[in-house]
Amino acid sequence: MKIAGLDVGSRAIKLVVLQKGECILKKEVATGFDYVQEVQTLLEEIQPHKTLVTGYGRHLLAQHMGFEHVTEIKAHAKGVHNLFAEVRTILDIGGQDTKAISLNPNGRVHSFVMNDRCAAGTGRFLEAMATSLGCSIIELNALALRGSNDFSINSTCTVFAETEVISLKAQGANPADVARAIFKSIAQRAASLLNRLSINPPLCFCGGVARNKALVQELKAMLHMPVLVPEQPEFTGALGAALLASMT
């Protein structure tokens, strides 16, 4: 019996398929305009017996395809607990929001906070910053790993932060140092969100943005606690959804 977990995010659709408790497929496609159609295509060849959906598109899919749905909070908690049973705190940075979740020792959600409406500190913020430095996110990460700790970006607003990056560039700052400052500012935002919860170690950092090693380093330094990153951090939500589906 195939069981599918779908995480329909603002940037990408992630799919995890389980069979007899084993993960047999992970797939990611970009979220387009008609994501109901995209999901239908994705699932066509798999024909899962059961599908559970999470993420920002969950309501539309539940409505169109009759899937059950849960929030990303619950899905991430489940997925992360499955990967690292000892984790007590989760940071998830996705395309347009950031979530901090604290877990009970048994893996259940204890409390959570999300960023306010602005995109600062999210994947979109990172994209905008990379663009203003004229590089890709992958390049930005590579740059930052070589950067010094000389600068910081103080604005929490994407628009103002862009201005800061441009003016640092104009002052002739080394792009690597600026890149590091960008990741530091995201880590700061994340840390302040996390500090609104009472957080326990260890922390798991998931969501697509967790692929950036430069950010993981900043977080470790800032939070003084071990930070675990799943091998494919963008799939924890979909994995959690699939696991929840197989429980019911």
Rounded Cα–Cα distance for residues 244 and 214 (Å): 32
Binding other proteins (rule: CB under 8 A), the pick from 97, 164, 177, 234 is 97
Minimum distance from CB of 117 to other proteins (Å)?
Answer: 5
Query: Is the CB of 23 or the CB of 60 nearer to other proteins?
Result: 60
Minimum distance from CB of 172 to other proteins (Å)?
Answer: 35
Q: Are strands 89-93 and 68-69 parallel, antiparallel or unpaired?
A: unpaired
Using CB under 8 A as the binding rule, the residues of this chain from 109 to 138 that contact other proteins are: 109, 111-112, 114, 116-117
Which whole-number Å values give the CA distances from 66 to 50, 63, 105, 240, in the listed order?
Answer: 10, 6, 33, 19
Strand order in the sheet with 89-93: 109-114, 98-103, 89-93, 203-206, 227-228
Minimum distance from CB of 219 to other proteins (Å)?
Answer: 23
Bridge partners of 90, per DSSP, are 101, 204
Regarding 70 and contact with other proteins (CB under 8 A), the answer is yes
Binding other proteins (rule: CB under 8 A), the pick from 2, 36, 38, 71 is 71
Which helix (H) or strand (E) segment holds residue 19: the answer is strand 12-19
Stretch that binds other proteins, among 39-47, 70-78, 137-145, 147-155 (CB under 8 A): 70-78
Regarding 167 and contact with other proteins (CB under 8 A), the answer is no
CB contact set of 50 (below 8 Å; sequence gap of 6+) = 1, 3, 4, 245, 246
Stretch that binds other proteins, among 31-39, 72-80, 205-213, 222-230 (CB under 8 A): 72-80
